[in-house]
């Protein structure tokens, strides 16, 4: 995998950020079905180029009867018009990428994902239809084989479903990390505790940071600014949990006015949430993550091997974000096998992030379910409360305020009231960076709502989380 630095580290050269998300591949792959789901979840317009051709020029079988060259000319035009519009999800016809001009336009304006399909499955889906190129099975299979090369040449990534498309669009990969790393100059920012358990996944200068929230101290960043020796072509690699990816991403955003970085999260919390989304930050005396930047990693590499050494308490902390995701999505993701669970959570967050990359539209706010209370508890405890444990308590408060059953939080996460100063917690909550009085609650699982609460109700819910 090659990582290319873009002119704007916020959106350029990082997956589908600021670009069209184009779905290419053979007929019967499911591009239109996947495209509609991806468009809905990312709040992007959806364009089905075959449907547009039929809307404007008539049925495709009739166009083919007049000659395939004329159809391809119309197809090229329709794709060009779609790519000239605002960032959208575009499902292209199976033969659209045969046009060299279309391939050039895709390279310039889109992130192209090849939707993979087995030829047997594709034939079963299209046999008996009126598709002009699906009338003879032998011709169909020959065409399938012939086009694989041009799909591979055109695609930036591959996927088989909507979740795979979300992951690909933000450079999130699952599996062995070593297979996905670039070979250029790399500096590793690593959790000092993780280094006692695992070797860094790439060679390079290793810069240690304290475990946990202490990594996000301003003094740590100042030290790293002085230690790291990279040119602008270099890459920082974050190797650790959420605090490590936060500080490494912030360092990458500010070092030499911005260098590329890669996240290799080693905790469950990091793999399902913290390392995804481009938000980086460090703590100040006034609160958590009050100094930060949006700086998307070129890749987020998720390898379950690192979770084998995770203590039970850290795993439970990570499950807080899993439960949060399930409540937002309205699905019991916590019941899936671990790899599927991580994939589903990472894909859900990627979809929300793609809908609002810089948190300017308000759609990303739903990801703060439980976090307004959690951050207040962390701050008021002097950060002795683990983030995931604070989120579990925050979810408990959010469900109570939503008048919803709290059983899943209580049984899976087993939150207990924590030692914290009530007045300090309330002061922290009131100055929360997401806006005074603004909370994410649930109308029902899968139906988050951003709302306001009276001070009395918010304070009562907060103090119920603090040990008497």
For residues 327 and 411, membership in a common domain is answered with no
pLDDT tens for each residue of 279-303: 999 988 877 788 999 999 999 999 9
**Domains held by the chain: number:** 3
**Boundary of a domain, candidates 161, 186, 210:** 161
pLDDT tens for each residue of 354-363: 999 998 888 9
Number of neighbours of residue 412 by Cβ within 10 angstroms: 17
Report yes or no on 12 lying in a domain: no
Q: Which of 171, 182, 111 is nearest to 299 (CA)?
A: 171
Q: Which residues on adjacent β-strands are paired with residue 418?
A: 466
Beta strands in 254-401 (DSSP E): 260-265, 279-284, 287-294, 299-302
For residues 347 and 225, membership in a common domain is answered with yes
**Boundary of a domain, candidates 322, 355, 388:** 355
Report yes or no on 149 lying in a domain: yes
Q: What φ, ψ does residue 182 adopt, rounded to 5°?
A: -75, 165
Question: Both tokens of residue 10?
Answer: 């916020």
Q: How far is CA 67 from CA 72, 127, 182, 468, in A?
A: 9, 22, 46, 80
Report yes or no on 172 lying in a domain: no
Question: Both tokens of residue 161?
Answer: 């479903």
For residues 233 and 84, membership in a common domain is answered with no
Gap between the Cα atoms of 273 and 269, Å rounded = 6
pLDDT tens for each residue of 363-392: 999 999 999 999 899 989 988 898 899 999
Which domain does 254 fall in, by range?
177-355
Report yes or no on 10 lying in a domain: no
Q: What is the pLDDT of residue 3?
A: 34
Q: What is the pLDDT of residue 4?
A: 32
For the chain, residues with pLDDT lower than 50 are 1-12
Handedness of CA 456, 460, 463, 468 (dihedral sign): positive
Q: What is the pLDDT of residue 260?
A: 94
CATH number at residue 443: 1.20.1090.10
Q: What is the pLDDT of residue 334?
A: 97
Number of neighbours of residue 315 by Cβ within 10 angstroms: 16
Report yes or no on 166 lying in a domain: no
Predicted TM-score (pTM) of this structure: 0.92
For residues 291 and 326, membership in a common domain is answered with yes
For residues 393 and 304, membership in a common domain is answered with no
pLDDT tens for each residue of 95-119: 999 999 999 999 999 999 999 999 9
Report yes or no on 97 lying in a domain: yes
Q: 152-178 as b/e, with b when 16 or more CB fall inside 10 Å?
A: eebbbbbbbbbbbbbbbbbbbbbeebe
Report yes or no on 58 lying in a domain: yes
Gap between the Cα atoms of 330 and 442, Å rounded = 10
CATH number at residue 111: 3.40.50.300
Q: How far is CA 103 from CA 70, 112, 155, 206, 373, in A?
A: 18, 10, 10, 41, 49
Q: What φ, ψ does residue 122 adopt, rounded to 5°?
A: -60, -45
Gap between the Cα atoms of 387 and 393, Å rounded = 10
For residues 274 and 240, membership in a common domain is answered with yes
DSSP H helical ranges for 181-279: 218-227, 242-254, 268-269
């Amino acid at each position: 995998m090659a990582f290319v630095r873009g002119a704007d580290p916020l959106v350029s050269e990082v997956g589908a950020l600021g670009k069209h998300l184009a779905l290419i591949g053979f007929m019967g792959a499911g591009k239109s079905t996947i495209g509609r789901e991806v468009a809905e979840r990312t709040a992007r317009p959806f364009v089905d180029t075959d449907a547009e051709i039929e809307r404007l020029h008539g049925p495709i079988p009739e166009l083919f009867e007049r000659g395939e060259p004329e159809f391809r000319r119309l197809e090229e035009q329709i794709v060009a018009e779609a790519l000239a519009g605002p960032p959208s999800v575009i499902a292209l016809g199976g033969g659209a990428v045969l046009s060299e001009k279309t391939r050039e336009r895709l390279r310039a304006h889109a992130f192209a994902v090849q939707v993979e399909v087995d030829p047997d499955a594709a034939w079963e889906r299209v046999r008996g239809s009126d598709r002009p190129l699906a009338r003879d099975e032998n011709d169909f299979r020959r065409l399938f084989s012939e086009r694989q090369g041009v799909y591979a040449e055109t695609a930036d990534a591959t996927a088989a479903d909507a979740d795979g498309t979300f992951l690909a669009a933000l450079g999130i990969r699952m599996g062995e990390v070593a297979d996905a790393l670039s070979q250029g100059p790399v500096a590793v920012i690593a959790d000092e505790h993780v280094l006692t358990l695992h070797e860094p996944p790439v060679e390079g200068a290793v810069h240690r940071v304290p475990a946990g929230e202490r990594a996000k101290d301003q003094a740590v960043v100042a030290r790293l600014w002085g230690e790291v020796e990279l040119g602008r072509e270099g890459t920082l690699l974050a190797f650790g949990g959420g605090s490590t990816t936060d500080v490494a991403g912030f360092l990458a955003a500010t070092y030499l006015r911005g260098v590329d970085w890669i996240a290799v999260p080693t905790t469950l919390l990091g793999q399902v949430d913290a390392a995804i989304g481009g938000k980086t930050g460090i703590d100040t005396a006034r609160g958590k993550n009050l100094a930060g930047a949006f700086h998307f990693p070129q890749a987020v590499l998720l390898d379950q091997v690192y979770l084998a050494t995770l203590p039970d308490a850290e795993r439970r902390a990570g499950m807080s974000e899993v439960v949060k995701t399930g409540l937002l999505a309205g699905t019991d993701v916590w019941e899936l096998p671990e790899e599927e669970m991580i994939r589903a959570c990472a894909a859900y967050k990627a979809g929300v992030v793609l809908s609002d990359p810089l948190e300017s539209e308000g759609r990303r706010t739903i990801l703060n379910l439980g976090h307004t209370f959690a951050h207040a508890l962390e701050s008021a405890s002097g950060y002795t409360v683990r983030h995931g444990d604070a989120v579990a308590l925050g979810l408990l408060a959010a469900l109570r305020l939503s008048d919803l059953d709290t059983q899943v939080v209580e049984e899976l996460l087993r939150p207990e009231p924590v030692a914290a100063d009530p007045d300090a917690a309330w002061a922290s909550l009131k100055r929360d960076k997401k806006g005074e009085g603004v909370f994410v609650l649930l109308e029902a699982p899968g139906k988050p709502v951003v709302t306001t609460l009276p001070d009395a109700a918010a304070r009562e819910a907060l103090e119920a989380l603090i040990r008497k």
